[in-house]
Amino acid sequence: MMMATNADIHTLAAPYALHALPDEDVELFEEHLAECSACAAEVEEIRETAARLGAAAAVSPPARMKDDVLRRIEQVRPLPPEVTDSGDDDRDTLRSGARRRAWRRWWGPIATGAVAALLAGIVVLGIQLNETREQLDRSQAIGAQMRELVTAPDMQVVQAEQGDSGGTVIMARSVDTAVLMVHGMEPAPAEHTYQLWFIDDDGARSAGLLGDTEDGRIGPFTAHGLADADHLGITVEPAGGSERPTTDPVMLIELA
């Protein structure tokens, strides 16, 4: 493990607050923490915010909101087929999957420095600090992207839940970016993977492969190219992904 320099050590406050630091770095950071009031305040703020967000529950919307979601999904058209003529099937796939799932949605603008630090820390949670300067630089670059996202004036959080599974999307159209975190997901079948899609009036565009679950969780996963998408969808696809959705969505989230 590469020890952080004096300049780097302040960046460890978020992963420390979220218990994401390797053991060998905890002692190093705690020595620094005893002498750095700024890091101590950041750690306390992140943990308090994490506790508040963890206790928050999704709010059930009125029936008219569900009707509006289904109406908008009805308008989604598949991308023009490039190899086969199964475009209508793709549209029906997305529609039927949407009808079978009743999602609860809660969203609202959040723009506090505490949440910005927390969300940057969540991203660091999925990135192991290791021996190479290149990977540390990459971690810091991702952290910079997250700060840009969570401090954007139009940043919003969207949550959707169904039974024991659900997803959270942090998004800002001004920076063309969305970050997805999923919980309660079963592992994808053998030789298959989860694929994320941006869905708008023109059809579905791949936003990337989500990879394997870890204890039912996926992400944080950063997707660029949000544009005018009004839904995010997750489907199960053959390993390596697909040009267009080939299965019903296992999760469909309406975006603000």
Cβ proximity of 195 and 235 under 8 Å: yes
Name the helix (H) or strand (E) containing 195. strand 192-200
Cα 119 versus chain centre, distance: 10
Range name among 77-81, 147-151, 249-253 with the lowest pLDDT average: 77-81
Q: How far apart are CA 114 and CA 41, in angstroms?
A: 10
Domain ranges, ordered by start, for the chain: 9-55+114-140, 63-110+153-254
Q: Which of 21, 6, 9 shows the shortest CA–CA distance to 121?
A: 21
Question: What percentage of the chain carries pLDDT values higher than 90?
Answer: 22
Torsion of CA 61, 157, 122, 60, to 10 degrees: 0
Q: How far apart are CA 110 and CA 151, in angstroms?
A: 9
Please tell me whether residue 249 adopts helix, strand or coil conformation.
coil
Please tell me whether residue 92 adopts helix, strand or coil conformation.
helix
State pLDDT tens for residues 162-206.
Answer: 778 888 888 899 999 998 888 899 999 999 999 999 999 888 999
Burial 177-194 (b: 16+ CB within 10 A, else e): bbbbbbbbbeebeeebbb
Structure confidence at residue 221 (pLDDT): 86
In the numeric block, the tokens 């990135």 are attached to 127
Q: How far apart are CA 45 and CA 123, in angstroms?
A: 17
Structure confidence at residue 142 (pLDDT): 66
Range name among 122-131, 139-148, 179-188 with the lowest pLDDT average: 122-131
Structure confidence at residue 235 (pLDDT): 94
Structure confidence at residue 240 (pLDDT): 93
Name the helix (H) or strand (E) containing 194. strand 192-200
Question: What value does the mean pLDDT of the chain take?
Answer: 71
The C-alpha angle 159, 161, 165, rounded to 5 degrees, equals 120
State pLDDT tens for residues 25-68.
Answer: 788 888 888 988 888 887 787 666 555 544 443 444 444 544 54
Structure confidence at residue 242 (pLDDT): 94
Helices 37-55, 23-33: axis angle to 10 degrees equals 120
Name the helix (H) or strand (E) containing 107. strand 104-109
Higher pLDDT, 102 or 138: 138
pLDDT-derived band at 77 (thresholds 50, 70, 90) equals: very low
pTM: 0.53
3-state SS of the chain: helix, strand, coil percent to 5? 40, 25, 35
Residues in the chain: 256
